[in-house]
Amino acid sequence: MQQAGRFSSLLQLFVLALSLFVFQPVALAAEEDNFNVGEMIMHHIKDAHEWHLFGPEHGGTSIYLPIILLDNGLSTFSSRHFYAGHPVKVVNKETGLTIQYLKGSGPAKEYALYHEEIYKLNKAGILEFKGEHPHNAQPLDFSITKNVMSLLMGAILILLIMFSVAKFYRKNGAVAPKGLAKFFEPLIVMVRDDIAKANINEHKYEKYVPYLLTIFFFIWFNNMLGLIPFLPGGANLTGNITVTLFLAVCTLLVTLFSGNKNYWGHIFWMPGVSVPMKIFMMPIEIIGVFTKPFALMIRLFANITAGHIIVLALISIIFVNKNVAWAGLSVPMSLFISILEVLVAFLQGFLFAMLSALFIGAAVEEAHH
Amino acid sequence: MDAQMYGSIAAIGAGLAVLGAGLGIGRIGGSAVEGIARNPEAAGKIQTAMIIAAALIEGVALFGVVVGLLGGAK
């Protein structure tokens, strides 16, 4: 297929994409001798108080994000006071394993950081461990963590793009668009027609289109940002179950608040069946109101997190075998999975919006008879 | 040599969940393709229905994977 432009064939584009992915292993930490795959993967999946850019995990280059704690008053300080300090090593008497945690210095000297969670030091100035977890109290943590920062950056990106698209139409009216609007118009029309209009009542769907557009673009953009291994991407935002919980709760609230008499009637007193069946179905339907957003939450979280884990595990093949020649196997496999992840990013956004539209449609449906 | 991978029943459980998903989605894909072959004009609608059904099944399979992860991790 001859195409005009820099890439005269799809093969050249593929080879270029493949070569860019060679940098993905370099973007990971250059570890010392003991390379623990599980720990490395967890470190990349989980939220953190610093944004690690390159270099070894402790002591490399990172952006130290602000920590905001509510503990009898507001304390704000940079996480540098944890990460630039010295780790405290403690041997767990029960299992014999060495646990390492970071004790704060300066304004953070009453706190310690263990597995990216902040604990208050007890009177002796140490963390007491019960089994795997510290037994100390925890302050309320409102910090700007990696996920919060990624959320803010994703939100700014969406706002910039959407305001630019809106400005085009405001200036030029309802004409064939050019530029950024040209790329986004088919997507916005798809959400309006195939997602909203197809699933929600013909006369009522317009009210819900802004919510569905927000859900779709938020999830899609943040999924895509999660696939980019360097700033501004690389934070596993939509793979954080708290974030997907919030999105599912939003859908739940929109559904509950737009439920009409017919919807609640179907839940509590299902029409068209005998009375014993009505009473039998009532608890099932009530639980059903909550399991549907729960499934939305788990679906998005597990899809995105599993995708990231697979890509990280495939790249770790090189590090586990300690031989760069394994890159010949690892990089094409990671590339293939990453292409699949791009599809999954779009699909999960589309699906979340589509299922939300289905639930809203069921809530505003008029009785058939 | 220090990459410690230990097997667990949780991993087998997750594998079984994935097996179920593979079978289910495979059947959906087969029926969808057959439907498109019979009626090429309805390809768009069939494709949309296929994607929704596949994603719902995948959601259920991922429940199993998440339970497997929870069971395997400490």
Please check the confidence at residue A155 and state whether its pLDDT lies above 60: yes
Residues A154 and A73 in one domain: no
CB contact under 8 A, B59 and A299: yes
**Predicted confidence (pLDDT) at residue B14 exceeds the cutoff of 60:** yes
Q: Is the pLDDT of residue A19 over 90?
A: no
Q: What percent of chain A has pLDDT over 70?
A: 89
Pair (A56, A131) in one structural domain: yes
Are B63 and A351 in contact (CB < 8 Å)?
no
Domains, chain B: 22-72 (1.20.20.10)
* Distance between B61 CA and the closest CA of chain A, angstroms: 9
Same domain, A121 and A76: yes
Point out the domain boundary residue: A115, A143, A171. Answer: A143
Say whether both A114 and A176 belong to one domain: no
Of A158-167, A266-275, A336-345, minimum mean pLDDT range? A266-275
Residue of chain A nearest B50, judged by CA positions: A351
Domain that holds residue A331: 147-364
Would you say residue A29 has pLDDT above 60?
no
What are A's interface residues with B at a Cβ cutoff of 8 A?
A: 33-38, 132, 194, 295, 298-299, 301-303, 306, 316, 320, 347-348, 350-351, 354-355
Q: Which residue of A has its CA nearest to B68?
A: A302
- CB contact under 8 Å between B4 and A306, yes or no, is no
Q: Mean pLDDT, to the nearest integer, of B36-42?
A: 93
- Residues of chain B found within 8 Å of residue A303, distances taken between Cβ atoms: 58, 62
Q: Is residue A35 part of a domain?
A: no
- One domain, residues A152 and A122: no
Confidence of residue A30 (pLDDT cuts 50, 70, 90): very low
Note whether residue A116 is domain-resident: yes
In chain B, residues with a C-beta closer than 8 Å to the C-beta of A132 are 74
- Shared-domain flag, residues A190 and A244: yes
* Residue B34 DSSP code: H
- Average of per-residue pLDDT values in chain A: 83
Q: Which of the given ranges, A88-102, A238-252, A319-333, B57-71, has the highest pLDDT on average?
A: A238-252
Tell me: do A308 and A168 sit in the same domain: yes
Same domain for A115 and A233:
no
Domain presence at residue A34? no
Q: What is the pLDDT of residue A348?
A: 92
Same domain, A104 and A175: no
pLDDT at A351: 92
The count of structural domains within chain A is 2
Confidence category of residue A369, pLDDT binned at 50, 70, 90: low
Q: Which chain A residue is nearest to residue B64, measuring alpha carbons? A: A302
For residue A95, the model assigns a pLDDT of 67
Chain B positions touching A37 (Cβ under 8 A) are: 3, 5
User: Number of A:B CB contacts under 8 A?
Assistant: 46
Name the pTM for this structure. Answer: 0.84
Q: Do A37 and B5 touch (CB under 8 A)?
A: yes
Decide if A36 and B4 are in contact by the 8 Å CB cutoff. Answer: yes
Q: Do B51 and A299 touch (CB under 8 A)?
A: no
Query: What percentage of residues in chain A have a pLDDT greater than 90?
Result: 28
Assess whether A221 and A291 both reside in one domain: yes
pLDDT of residue A1: 47
Q: For residue range A336-363, list pLDDT tens digits in order.
A: 998 989 989 999 999 999 999 999 998 9
* Highest mean pLDDT out of A88-102, A130-144, A210-224, B49-63: A210-224
